[in-house]
Chain A
Amino acid sequence: MFEKNPLSPHLQIYKWHLSMILSITHRIIGIVNSVAMILICLWTISLLFGEENYEIIKILFQSFFGKLLITSLSWSFSFHILSEIRHLIWDLGYGFDLKISKITGVITIIGSMVLTIIIYLFGKNII
């Protein structure tokens, strides 16, 4: 019986719309953030190996790739925060109306970009 359980619908069947894009992005970002958490743990553990061994990681972080990595992580965390708040509001029984759902979806996308900039500027003591 269990072997005949239907899997999630195939993505290519339906016409793409905002809620669908956000739902898929939410799931992908969840997986990306899970991998990021493992890398964050490894980065923390690497501190135990002393200053000399940390030099490689420091050079990586000070490079363009390092800045891109942190900016990408800031965006994926920002998106996750806003998307989770959207889901929590749904759990409370609000925001199911199609128009409201579209508005909160747009807020999640634009808000995640704005929040990324704020986090970066705040982190660098620019604001």
Chain B
Amino acid sequence: MHYSTKKWLVIKLSSIILIPLMFWFIVNLASIYDESYAEIVFFFSKSSSKALYSLFLIAAFSFFSLTISEVFEDYINDEKIKNVATKMLYVFAIVMPIITISSILSLN
């Protein structure tokens, strides 16, 4: 399978996974954002929240990194700059969710 076909399939798969998780997260965010520190920690301490939030982050960063790499493809003409920018984007999209998921896993 061609690299571009694989990339397109991953974008579509992450999009399908992301849609319900995005809805779940935004409804919960609208419900807790102005609550006390204890309430927010309580929300993220629940096993279901930890699991769904982790999945949401993985799906969101997979989807957004791949779609932003498409923006780089469209607007960056210099191949070297484009490759460096894309690689940096992919590294960031792996590191950021790992740090965030680790932080919520340590909340009790």
Contact = CB atoms under 8 A, between A and B. Distances in A.
Contacts of A119: 23, 26-27, 30
B68 to A, nearest CB: 6
A58 B23 CA distance: 23
Contacts of B61: 37
Size bracket of the B interface: 35 or more
B30 A124 contact: yes
Given A41-B96, A61-B34, A120-B30, 15 more contacts: A3-B78, A8-B74, A30-B64, A31-B71, A37-B57, A38-B96, A47-B37, A48-B106, A54-B37, A58-B37, A84-B19, A85-B19, A88-B15, A119-B23, A123-B27
A5 interface: yes
Contacts, number: 106
Contacts of A40: 29
Nearest to A52: B37
B68 A45 contact: no
A71 to B, nearest CB: 9
A27 B38 CA distance: 37
Interface string A81-110: 100110110010000000000000000000
Contact of B103 (A48, A85, A88): A48
B28 A37 contact: no
Nearest to A77: B26
A41 B97 contact: yes
Interface of B: 12, 15-16, 18-19, 22-23, 25-31, 33-34, 36-38, 40-41, 44, 53, 57, 60-61, 64, 67-68, 71, 74-75, 77-79, 96-97, 99-100, 103-104, 106-107
Contacts of B41: 47
B37 A51 contact: yes
A74 B36 CA distance: 21
Contact of B31 (A34, A85, A123): A123
Contacts of B75: 7-8
